[in-house]
Structure 1
């Protein structure tokens, strides 16, 4: 296969691909058209460079095949949301949650609860699609803006991808950079703790403005209508608990989510007295409640496999484009070309942060940034005397964390499918996703600068 060099065509493929995707967002055109155009343009340019079309097709098919687990998970997410609504699990969480909202700063609570749950579950999207939708539902009941609620939930949920010992991205990072979890986690705390404090402070002050808006009479009405429409009992909370324990024990996501869907279906039939045909309809098309309160019915709806079809097409397009960029070696020369210009430790850290973010933007996922930068930069970090823990931490705090802010990223697309809220709407409120990259760069640079100053003093 022809070796691809970092020339004008490399950057042209990047620019045109991002332009096509961005144009779809601006014109409100389905994103899969943008990805289809980007794939077609990239393939045409690569054929001109000497690559065979059959080889390119095989690359894309292999990439899609390798992501078959992801496609199954997407389908299961749609089924989980609808079934956990119909089974009364989410309504039960809301019912008991209403009891506590009277006395707390709810925005801050959303952030802290999702942060803790996400680390235990090891999955950001899994957290959003389970406990996240319940927390958002409770907040929406009191006219708290949905985009603000989701911003707090997303900030907390994506803590998992940075430090949870059972998160897929964390384990991929450890494998790629040859690190042990204990040393990695210790290093990550240097940036996670400050970013958590800043985000929590922001949500505390934002949330104070909504504490007075909570109407206890409205709470009683909501609870009454929920208990009329569903059988409400703490027993229903056992299924989410089982799912969470299975996640902590390292059970594969497909098995874990299948248990959640199967358990929810059984509860829907035997406890909520739904017909089997109704349950299948919920799984396919989504759930719509009929509690008698319009505000509540707008909250208790969503999910279904059918709404996920567009998500599957978008993810398939993103995977195909990413497979072309990686398989034809476009990315490696571009990364090497820019990173070789880093002559100081601080410059290397800043460039790592920038490129980690750029790869997440360009490839629509965090995986490429972890694998490519982790492999390519280990030697460069050694040459400049920078601990590879800083390499891993910088990638995790930048490319991994900003993923939900990018409208065409796989994570944002899934969040949109789960909640109906786009990245452009909730991104301004996802405080942690902004503070983490900034703290990562400042921490890495000042740490290295401090070492340099100590060395100078020592020599004197």
Structure 2
């Protein structure tokens, strides 16, 4: 809530806020400044601007803390996923998936298979982080075995994972979007199918064509054989070790809370590491915190096997906390309200402009808030009333909010989603960005629907009252 003595940011203040943020974040790309440090510096710039607008320090600090509090569940899930990754690698679960994947999957069809497998995982679990942190890292290992370009493999993995994060009724972002837009959850999912189905189809075809194009020169299976031999030399591999994955996916599909389910999967990994791989109970438990550590030589496969643990997620957590706090500061200063008022004047009665504005607000929240939760909030809150004025159904709003909010998260290098994806896959955001084909297709189709009017449903008008007969 803005204090009575505080002023709403005008054009000059808004430009100053945007310029300050742009200048600070440019140090990440130009000077290789740590993202967390740049975001923390942005806090103090926002504090200074907020004080200049008449806000008390206590009010600004509370705004930052409110922003952090809104994303604490996501922070805890990130921590738990880190523990799960470390335990599952030490247990031989991830190595078993990589081994059998290399042995059974045709290399020319691996890319569409990776996309669809991660999509199915995301749909039944409702979490892109969980999908990439489990099946995704195994797919990266298989892709390395086939000597495929790793940015392309990461693009297929992340694209597939976000199919579930966007379309699954189990996803927290899907539920949050439906709630903020005040639409029934199932109606929201049905609306997204209008863009989701054609985009999944086209992305699958695209990855299939890319895989077949790469196969024309033939695959050198020596790398794949070397990966399989390396895994056999260091781990006991068995189809039975896939059971913790199955148990975790089933529990998530049954709509059990994500945090305890992922923690249960991590505990199963500890048990398997102890019983199947012969590590001591203390070493097995330690992988939850420190990750898996072993002598696997050098190269990308070694980097996949030596990872995980809560420690590996601490940089991600720092970025998430600072990004969420920055989003809370922006809201407290009144930036969101000012932009919403400007958008109302710009949109007029064009559904195409409204779609573009909604997606732009989602990107605004992603850039300045650093998390999907912030992006969904900004996109919904800034444009919700405009949809009502144009007589559009709220399911159109919710569909566009997901396109610009949820899907923009792994695209901006300093956001929680992008940092997690880059850390987990070992591929930089700028490298996998061109290959997020599902994300780009959804945005293109959303704009196409907006400017053509297709699937831009109007609210039913109440029937006119009839005159009573004499």
Measured after TM superposition, the shift of residue 316 of structure 1 is: 1.4
1:187–1:65 distance in 2 versus 1, CA, 3 Å: closer
Question: What does 1:133-144 align with in structure 2 at a 5 Å threshold?
Answer: 133-144=137-148
| In 2: Cα distance, 1:21 partner to 1:218 partner | 40
1:450–1:287 distance in 2 versus 1, CA, 3 Å: closer
Q: Residue 82 of structure 2: which of 78, 84, 99 is its match?
A: 78
1:423–1:294 distance in 2 versus 1, CA, 3 Å: closer
Q: Residue 422 of structure 2: which of 413, 416, 420 is its match?
A: 416
1:298–1:352 distance in 2 versus 1, CA, 3 Å: closer
Partner of residue 122, structure 2: 118
Measured after TM superposition, the shift of residue 111 of structure 1 is: 1.0
Q: Does 1:439 align with 2:453?
A: no
Per-residue CA shift, 1:252-288, capped at 9, x if unaligned?
A: 2220111111110111111111123322443333223
Per-residue CA shift, 1:141-186, capped at 9, x if unaligned?
A: 1211221111111111111222100100111111111212332222
Once structures 1 and 2 are overlaid, which stretch shifts more, 38-47 or 287-296? 287-296
| In 2: Cα distance, 1:413 partner to 1:250 partner | 27
Q: Residue 306 of structure 2: which of 301, 307, 326 is its match?
A: 301
Q: Residue 389 of structure 1: which of 395, 399, 404 is its match?
A: 395
| In 1: Cα distance, 2:38 partner to 2:438 partner | 29
Partner of residue 150, structure 1: 154
Measured after TM superposition, the shift of residue 10 of structure 1 is: 2.0
User: Do the aligned partners of 1:359 and 1:399 also contact (CA within 8 Å) in 2?
Assistant: yes
Measured after TM superposition, the shift of residue 221 of structure 1 is: 4.5
1:167–1:100 distance in 2 versus 1, CA, 3 Å: same
Give the secondary-structure state (helix, strand or coil) at the position aligned to 1:165.
coil
User: Do the aligned partners of 1:32 and 1:313 also contact (CA within 8 Å) in 2?
Assistant: yes
| In 2: Cα distance, 1:295 partner to 1:155 partner | 21
Per-residue CA shift, 1:27-62, capped at 9, x if unaligned?
A: 212111110111100101101111111221222223
Partner of residue 373, structure 2: 367
Length-normalised TM-score, structure 2: 0.90
CA RMSD of aligned residues (A): 2.3
Partner of residue 246, structure 2: 241
| In 2: Cα distance, 1:270 partner to 1:106 partner | 32
Give the secondary-structure state (helix, strand or coil) at the position aligned to 1:288.
coil
Q: Does 1:168 align with 2:168?
A: no
Q: Does 1:190 align with 2:194?
A: yes
Q: Residue 92 of structure 1: which of 92, 96, 99 is its match?
A: 96
Q: Does 1:425 align with 2:425?
A: no
1:384–1:226 distance in 2 versus 1, CA, 3 Å: same
Question: What does 1:146-295 align with in structure 2 at a 5 Å threshold?
Answer: 146-211=150-215, 213-216=218-221, 218-290=223-295
Gaps of 5+ in 2: 459-470
| In 1: Cα distance, 2:70 partner to 2:42 partner | 21
Per-residue CA shift, 1:286-307, capped at 9, x if unaligned?
A: 2234457866434422112223
Gaps of 5+ in 1: 453-460
Measured after TM superposition, the shift of residue 232 of structure 1 is: 1.6
Measured after TM superposition, the shift of residue 354 of structure 1 is: 2.2
Length, aligned pairs only = 452
Measured after TM superposition, the shift of residue 416 of structure 1 is: 2.1
Measured after TM superposition, the shift of residue 447 of structure 1 is: 1.9
Partner of residue 462, structure 2: none
Question: What does 1:2-151 align with in structure 2 at a 5 Å threshold?
Answer: 2-102=6-106, 104-151=108-155
1:261–1:291 distance in 2 versus 1, CA, 3 Å: same
Measured after TM superposition, the shift of residue 120 of structure 1 is: 0.9
User: Do the aligned partners of 2:136 and 2:425 also contact (CA within 8 Å) in 1?
Assistant: no
Once structures 1 and 2 are overlaid, which stretch shifts more, 81-90 or 310-319? 310-319
Give the secondary-structure state (helix, strand or coil) at the position aligned to 1:324.
helix
| In 2: Cα distance, 1:448 partner to 1:295 partner | 46
User: Do the aligned partners of 1:102 and 1:214 also contact (CA within 8 Å) in 2?
Assistant: no
| In 1: Cα distance, 2:178 partner to 2:441 partner | 23
Per-residue CA shift, 1:57-76, capped at 9, x if unaligned?
A: 22222332443322222222
User: Do the aligned partners of 1:92 and 1:233 also contact (CA within 8 Å) in 2?
Assistant: yes
Per-residue CA shift, 1:369-418, capped at 9, x if unaligned?
A: 32343244333212212222211111112222121111011100111222
Once structures 1 and 2 are overlaid, which stretch shifts more, 197-206 or 1-10? 1-10
